[in-house]
Structure 1
């Protein structure tokens, strides 16, 4: 066992990420680009934690993960205990360890990072712990202490829905998850490429939930294949965790040209191919690809296009690198793989031949005064236009909610189209109907979806217990 008093090693030991595959090799496939820590390396990197009095890493984690404790346990070689602490607040630690933008959350707030020593590799240790737990068969199906008769329906098998399903099943409730797709996982299965998150990682999570007694009803679009009212009749409580999937459009001439595509269908098709499905849809192979946007979805698209064999891949973003919303780590990986970034650039028009896009005419921008969000607004530099050759233009400008009237005209929405809920309980204006994740928050991070799924589940449990007690009282009388 490792020395139990070996924390605060950040002065003696350098920060070291798991080995990363060379860019030339990883351009050729969709395998994950980072390797795994061996036990000794995980212990070494965890020992760099300063165990500071105010755990800023934990404070900046949406799940409030007890990071200092599980780092200390890892450094001491107590891997199973470390995993138990890690998984106590997170339903998918190995997934968050792979796809969370740690550079903007826990690692970006690390005290030793601020002091210039390089952050503790929190995400990589988190991934190591739960991958080890799977390998050692520490993770088993849920076995509730007691079965309860109450039934819960969850709309959406993404991270919010899956987290809530797990929490409610642990309490013994009968849980059914409905999803429009043919596989469970939401954006985890279809929106995030394999080179960031191999699909077997997601599938073993959903299989565990199935083995725990959770029912999945797939290829079921609630509001189309089954009415929302029917769902409410069948279940004592319902959680809407549908996510936001309506792509924001380009505001320029030519945006309806052939060859202009939203990001999500492009990513879904790529992930389906990776899962073994046969599709006739075209890929980026041999094309000059332009991706418009600067978030994590844009990075997923440019890196997918590279792997599909694109002739060239260019990312247009209207602000500068410092103001890019996506993970710095993902941007760096994309640059290594051959993506060209045009900062401070935005499409003016999309030109084409016979209705097919051939060129993006773009404006150079500068950053002007701050807008209502506090960010500097991009302003067009007149006379600084430039052209980018394009056979395929992918819109990665973010997502908006779909029309919630399809579910029910009774649901109250905000001016942004998201569902309005009680900010504490996550209950909508309809009794027994809750909502969590992006459909409440707007397009956001997986880790926030997990957090809200867990929080909503806790309040749904209280609501169901109240119903259960009322029914017992009536039966006793």
Structure 2
């Protein structure tokens, strides 16, 4: 057990043991092994307990990171979990999928010269221990309320809001068009980053806590938004964004040029034991193929690393900017490089070619020019600098846009921004429809799981205030 904090001057940063790349290429297990108790305590003791904790400032949830690091260093793990869970609905998930190198760890005060505290790994250790010890309980209220809240979308924002509202005593029902709860945590994020039983156990716990799930339910087809407004005292839309951004290059319609989310969902469903015809046919299976992934974000990294594990003959990531300007986590890039992914920096697809199916990508070399209005350097083509890449499967990982929810829901009064995201009053998080709130990616655009959790927790408070302002019904004693 650590005797005191500020041990960064004595102890070097150490992540949990990392599995060898040759081993992890062959399976879907997580990259890092679990922390041993002594190692977690020692790494937590490296925290400087600084007066202005920039790790906390740069965390979307404003997690009390120095506090739970100190408690971990002292061996007070149950208290550490209570502090972590006080601000974070899913600390075990954030510890696995958050880009800590861009958020908390990237802003650690001791980073310059001593390497940051391994915040994400300690967070994962605390919560995994809490699950193992049985400290985590279903969200049970002290007293029940008669009012009900309907939530459309069982992703991070919807689930986080449901947990907060259920704890307050509301009757909560979550509607989702998929057959499992979790949204992209189940279907979008590969197992090597987030094993699915981690998500499923939270889902089961919510069911035990009295949250109802209506899965395989599409709003606008199986039930209308109007019917849900009549059924519930308030409604939350937290559908996320699933519409893939497309590319209009020549040959983009060839068989074998697929969207990233279609590819990832097929892979995750196969891993969950589902029957996936497009995987079995090879349409969404990289086995034995030369794969090119277009894009440079976290979704692109998920795709290249999934293709490696499916047994691709080669995997290349094509990104129009350089490595320093890549939006994805540098930790993920390093993992991909270790696993054999080839990166073509400063290169953009110009066309896809092939007879009856894609056989290759014609790419254009790029260079970074002058900064635009945002300060980011513009990308400009280098005249005459073309090259070809062999490709049996091209995966477009160019980001996501919102679906047309007013049309899908049959609610033209549900107004949207010029980007297609739902328009809300940012003070109340309510849409143009009274009593209908929105949160998560459908409001802010495609973002991180941690921002979805933050938005879900925030909107739960706004929904509570709205219902109470309308006149609270008498509370029911919990049985």
Aligned to 1:180: 177
In the alignment, is residue 444 of structure 1 matched against residue 447 of structure 2? Answer: yes
SS state at 2:8 partner: coil
Over residues 363-386 of structure 1, what are the superposed CA-to-partner deviations in whole Å (9 max), with x where a residue is unaligned?
A: 000001122332111100011100
Aligned to 1:475: none
- For 1:464 and 1:208, the matched residues in 2 are separated by 26
Over residues 181-216 of structure 1, what are the superposed CA-to-partner deviations in whole Å (9 max), with x where a residue is unaligned?
A: 000000000000000000000000111111000000
Aligned to 2:53: 55
Aligned to 1:308: 310
Aligned to 1:432: 435
Among residues 107, 110, 131, which one is paired with 1:109 in the alignment?
A: 107
- For 2:316 and 2:32, the matched residues in 1 are separated by 24
Matched pairs, number: 467
- For 1:297 and 1:142, the matched residues in 2 are separated by 31
In the alignment, is residue 340 of structure 1 matched against residue 342 of structure 2? Answer: yes
Aligned to 1:411: 414
Unaligned runs of 5+ in 2: 475-479
SS state at 1:413 partner: coil
In the alignment, is residue 261 of structure 1 matched against residue 258 of structure 2? Answer: yes
Aligned to 2:234: 237
- For 2:78 and 2:352, the matched residues in 1 are separated by 55
Aligned to 2:477: none
Aligned to 2:79: 81
Unaligned runs of 5+ in 1: 473-477
Contact 2:140/2:210 (<8 A) preserved: no
- For 2:430 and 2:322, the matched residues in 1 are separated by 39
In the alignment, is residue 90 of structure 1 matched against residue 93 of structure 2? Answer: no
Aligned to 1:223: 220
Among residues 284, 297, 300, which one is paired with 2:299 in the alignment?
A: 297
Aligned to 1:318: 320
- For 1:223 and 1:418, the matched residues in 2 are separated by 18
- For 2:209 and 2:412, the matched residues in 1 are separated by 34
- For 2:206 and 2:131, the matched residues in 1 are separated by 14
- For 1:175 and 1:368, the matched residues in 2 are separated by 52
Aligned to 1:194: 191
Aligned to 2:41: 43
Aligned to 2:125: 128
In the alignment, is residue 360 of structure 1 matched against residue 355 of structure 2? Answer: no
Over residues 158-196 of structure 1, what are the superposed CA-to-partner deviations in whole Å (9 max), with x where a residue is unaligned?
A: 000000000000000000000010000000000000000
Contact 1:292/1:315 (<8 A) preserved: yes
Over residues 352-405 of structure 1, what are the superposed CA-to-partner deviations in whole Å (9 max), with x where a residue is unaligned?
A: 112x11010000000011223321111000111000000100000000000022
- For 1:157 and 1:191, the matched residues in 2 are separated by 13
Q: CA deviation at 1:465?
A: 1.6
Aligned to 1:250: 247
Aligned to 2:168: 171
SS state at 1:273 partner: helix
Q: CA deviation at 1:341?
A: 0.3
Among residues 192, 204, 207, which one is paired with 2:204 in the alignment?
A: 207
Q: Which aligned segments of 4 or more residues in structure 1 are displaced greater than 4 angstroms?
A: none
**Range with bigger deviation, 46-55 or 138-147:** 138-147
Q: TM-score, normalised by structure 2?
A: 0.96
Contact 2:155/2:182 (<8 A) preserved: yes
**Range with bigger deviation, 269-278 or 39-48:** 269-278
SS state at 2:354 partner: strand
- For 2:416 and 2:351, the matched residues in 1 are separated by 34
Contact 1:258/1:357 (<8 A) preserved: yes
SS state at 1:357 partner: coil
SS state at 1:382 partner: strand
In the alignment, is residue 420 of structure 1 matched against residue 420 of structure 2? Answer: no
- For 1:144 and 1:65, the matched residues in 2 are separated by 23
